[in-house]
Amino acid sequence: MNQFDVIVVGAGHAGIEACLATSRLGCSTALLTNNMSRVGYMSCNPSIGGLAKGHMVKEIDILGGEMGIAADKTCIQFKRLNSSRGPAVRGSRAQCDKDLYCKHMNKVVSAAKNLSVYEVEARALILDGKKCRGIETADGVKIYSEKVILCAGTFMNAVMHFGLKQVPGGRAGDKATVGISNQLADQGFKVSRLKTGTPARALKSSIDFSKTAKQYGDERFIPFSFRSPARLTLPQIPCFITHTNEATHEIIRRNLDQSPMFCGVIQGVGPRYCPSIEDKVTRFAEKISHQSFLEPEGLDSELIYIQGMSTSLPEAVQYEFLRTMPGLENVKLVRPGYAVEYDFFEPTQLSGTLETKEISGLFFAGQINGTSGYEEAAAQGLLAGINAAMQCLEREAVILRRDEAYIGVLIDDLVTKGTREPYRMMTSRAEHRLVLREDNVLDRLHNVATGNRLVSDSVLNEYEKVLGERQELRRVLATTAVVPSPETQAAFKKMNSPVLQKPMKLKDLLRREELTCFKLREFGLETNHDFDKVIEPVEIETKYEGYIDRQTKIIEQARKMEEVLIPRELDFEKVHGLSSEEREKLRSIGPRNLAQASRISGVNPSAIQAIMIHLKACQRAT
């Protein structure tokens, strides 16, 4: 069979979510991969989630994605980062068993209905003018489809750098994808280079862990997925902390002439928020030490991931500087660290659905759009898959707003602003992060999941059940009053909380910093609901209600600009008051509405006013 509704190229984190989304929505789908054994392979850090990234994993889950379930099932250490800080900046992180994660994803993909998997190399797109019709493989086989989703990761024209030695490939053990990026460049696409890197993997038995500090996970486990049980499946294990020192730094400085980054061999821009150890030593010369986590790659794995020590220096130099660090004096490397340089497409060439503007039926998702990280890739793959399926089914596109999801922030940033370095999601990128919390993902996105049938009926029923329980808890808090009495006053004193001067609703009491829903049991509040799914989300929104209301008003004002649509055919040459630069950028991006136009770099508020006046004049004329 060589005719499908959708073809997905690449079986990394973007490709998995893309093909599962299209197949689950009923579209016949072909997944093309160079290596079936590496479906969902964690090329770098063996973890899922983190600050802002954990938010996206939970959003992916509510919208029917698989990443959260896989992370929960294969978690070997769970932590909630920033747990002592405000709820908007807390982030869940799961270190996973790398091999089991890959096996889980392979099993899910292999068993999916409407999905066929082929171990072939995609060589070229089949184009019919400005329409994508399928893929031609390296063997010359043509596979046709209505839509193609390109999720080639770091593989397009990829080169690995081991010191000054260069080897074609997107990661150790896998060859590069050659041809497609050159073909698209010939079609007028802007193609640039980025760089990423990975640290060495060490043999566990060669490390003296007695010279390191143990780092344990949290006792409380909070699943990423609504579909996961609230208990860990696998045993939990510690990580270990060690540090660099001046001897480490001196060896690195002495060998910078062997680093491809510092010799100008690598032209691609690297990730600012995940720098190599060479970058750290040179950019932060005043620091006498840098922390490194030694992370087991699995329960039965002999490999240790040396986090924070990404490098492209030669293997001999890596041995030399690693052996200056406590616990690594006799370290043996299974694989040295290396850098990867690869092609990516400027993401402003995409619409908000992640379909390319230049060629219809062609979608991009993942690191080929200039992002960095498994979670960012998976989020794009999911939305590209959903929107490719929506086109096949002749249904409306799904575009998430910035105030609705971190995924909305991610995609809007990419297609509106573009990127010059590997884009990493952070809480600071979201102007409405107080309403984009991990605890309220269901409230934010259940309508999208329900309205577009992105999850099964049983999951939708669970969503409705939890939402109903939250609403009931809100009702009880808002209607139940506590009156002053000797018993209640004694209870407040015992809790170090002010006594009552008059009757107060439980909702108002809960706003006190020292009180929780569990403490309000003293006054008759029943707390039999699930804490993670029901009690904590309602408690957080109650305590922060004033701040949330203020942000909601700002969001409502911003939505007025979202509602002012800019017609695709609008000729910006006819809009008076725009500079040449503003016209060029507006034509290039093609904003959907005034709000998106206002976020384009170089487009001033006066230009937004001019567009609004022009649109109103056009309305009056009709």
What pLDDT is recorded for position 377?
Answer: 97
Average pLDDT over residues 214-223: 95
- For 592, the 3-state DSSP assignment is coil
Greatest Cα pair distance in the chain: 85
Residue with tokens 């010279």: 211
What pLDDT is recorded for position 202?
Answer: 97
pLDDT digits (tens, 9 = 90+) for 66-114: 999 999 999 999 999 998 898 989 999 999 999 999 999 999 999 999 9
Angle made by CA atoms 162, 167, 172, in degrees to the nearest 5? 75
Of the candidates 156, 151, 210, 145, the residue with the CA atom closest to the CA atom of residue 18: 151
What pLDDT is recorded for position 560?
Answer: 87
Q: Give the separation between CA 15 and CA 33, rounded to whole angstroms.
A: 9
pLDDT digits (tens, 9 = 90+) for 399-428: 999 999 999 999 999 999 999 899 999 999
Class of domain 457-549: mainly alpha
- For 583, the 3-state DSSP assignment is helix
| Residue 252 scores a pLDDT above 90 | yes
Of the candidates 239, 274, 266, the residue with the CA atom closest to the CA atom of residue 373: 274
**CA-based radius of gyration for the chain:** 26
Q: Give the separation between CA 143 and CA 164, rounded to whole angstroms.
A: 39
Question: How far apart, in Å, do the first and last CA atoms of the chain sit?
Answer: 51
Q: Are strands 3-9 and 338-345 parallel, antiparallel or unpaired?
A: unpaired
| Residue 270 scores a pLDDT above 80 | no
Q: What percent of the chain is predicted at pLDDT more than 90?
A: 80
Alpha-carbon dihedral angle through residues 500, 503, 505, 511, given to the nearest 10 degrees: -20
- Is the CB of residue 62 less than 8 Å from the CB of residue 386? no
pLDDT digits (tens, 9 = 90+) for 275-307: 899 999 998 989 999 999 999 999 999 999 999
Record: fold of 201-339: Elongation Factor Tu (Ef-tu); domain 3 (2.40.30)
What pLDDT is recorded for position 304?
Answer: 97
* Sign of the torsion angle spanned by Cα atoms 404, 406, 409, 411: negative
| Residue 11 scores a pLDDT above 70 | yes
Average pLDDT over residues 248-264: 89
Angle made by CA atoms 564, 570, 572, in degrees to the nearest 5? 105
pTM for this prediction: 0.94
What pLDDT is recorded for position 494?
Answer: 94
Architecture (CATH level 2) of domain 3-196+341-451? 3-Layer(bba) Sandwich (3.50)
pLDDT band at 534; cut points 50, 70, 90: very high
Average pLDDT over residues 44-61: 96
- CA atoms lying within 13 Å on the CB side of residue 295: 25
CATH of domain 563-621: 1.10.150.570
Domains 3-196+341-451 and 457-549 share a fold: no
- For 587, the 3-state DSSP assignment is helix
| Residue 622 scores a pLDDT above 80 | no
Mean pLDDT across the chain, nearest whole number?
93
What pLDDT is recorded for position 394?
Answer: 97
Q: What percent of the chain is predicted at pLDDT more than 70?
A: 100
Average pLDDT over residues 457-469: 96
DSSP per position, 465-499: HHHHHHHHHHHHHHH-EE---HHHHHHHHHTT-PP
Of the candidates 8, 361, 349, the residue with the CA atom closest to the CA atom of residue 150: 8
Q: Which helix (H) or strand (E) holds 413?
A: helix 406-417
What pLDDT is recorded for position 170?
Answer: 82
Number of residues written out for the chain: 622
The residue among 569 and 332 whose pLDDT is bigger is: 332
What pLDDT is recorded for position 174?
Answer: 80
What pLDDT is recorded for position 605?
Answer: 87
pLDDT band at 558; cut points 50, 70, 90: confident
Listed by start position, the domains of the chain span 3-196+341-451, 201-339, 457-549, 563-621
What pLDDT is recorded for position 107?
Answer: 97
What pLDDT is recorded for position 1?
Answer: 59
81: which 2 tokens?
A: 């980062």
Q: Give the separation between CA 152 and CA 131, rounded to whole angstroms.
A: 20
Strand order of the sheet with strand 333-335?
Answer: 213-215, 239-243, 291-296, 303-307, 201-203, 333-335
pLDDT band at 273; cut points 50, 70, 90: confident
Q: Give the separation between CA 614 and CA 43, rounded to whole angstroms.
A: 50
| Residue 436 scores a pLDDT above 80 | yes
pLDDT band at 244; cut points 50, 70, 90: very high
**CB atoms inside a 10 Å sphere around CB 263:** 12
Average pLDDT over residues 241-254: 96
Q: Which helix (H) or strand (E) holds 586?
A: helix 580-589
DSSP per position, 1-47: --EEEEEEE--SHHHHHHHHHHHHTT--EEEEES-GGGTT--SS-SE
Average pLDDT over residues 323-346: 95
| Residue 261 scores a pLDDT above 90 | no
Q: b/e per residue, 345-378, with b = 16+ CB within 10 A?
A: bbbbbbbbbbbbbebebbbbbbbbbbbbbbbbbb
